[in-house]
Amino acid sequence: MSLLLPFPRATAPLTLDDLDGIAKIYPHGEPDHLKIVRPQIEQRASLIKTWGIKPGEKVLEIGCGQGDCTVVLATAVGDGGSVTALDPASLDYGSPYTLGQAQAYLKASSVGPRITFVQADPIAFLAQTTERYTTAVLAQCSWYFASPQVWSDILAALLQRVDRVCVSEYALSAGDPRAAAHVLATFAQAALEVHKDGGKSTSNVRTVFSPARLKSAAISTGLKVESEILMRPPEGMLDGKWEVGWVLSAGFAKEIDDHVKDEREKAVVIAARDSVQAAVELLKAKDEKVATMDIWVATFVKEA
CA proximity to 228, closest of 176, 168, 188: 168
Distance of CA 70 to the CA centre of its chain: 11
Task: Specify whether the CB–CB gap between 135 and 39 falls below 8 A.
Answer: no
Residue 296: per-residue pLDDT: 98
Residue 13: per-residue pLDDT: 81
Task: Specify whether the CB–CB gap between 77 and 114 falls below 8 A.
Answer: yes
Report the DSSP pairing between strands 162-170 and 223-231: unpaired
Residue 2: per-residue pLDDT: 42
Residue 137 identity = V
Residue 234: per-residue pLDDT: 95
Residue 90: per-residue pLDDT: 87
Exposed e or buried b for every residue in 194-204, given b needs 16+ CB within 10 A? ebbebeebebe
Residues of the chain below pLDDT 50: 1-3, 10, 29
Residue 28: per-residue pLDDT: 65
C-alpha span between 21 and 250 (Å, rounded):
38
Domains observed in the chain: 19-179+197-237+289-302 (3.40.50.150)
What is the spatial order of strands in the sheet that 162-170 belongs to?
115-119, 82-87, 58-62, 133-139, 162-170, 295-302, 223-231
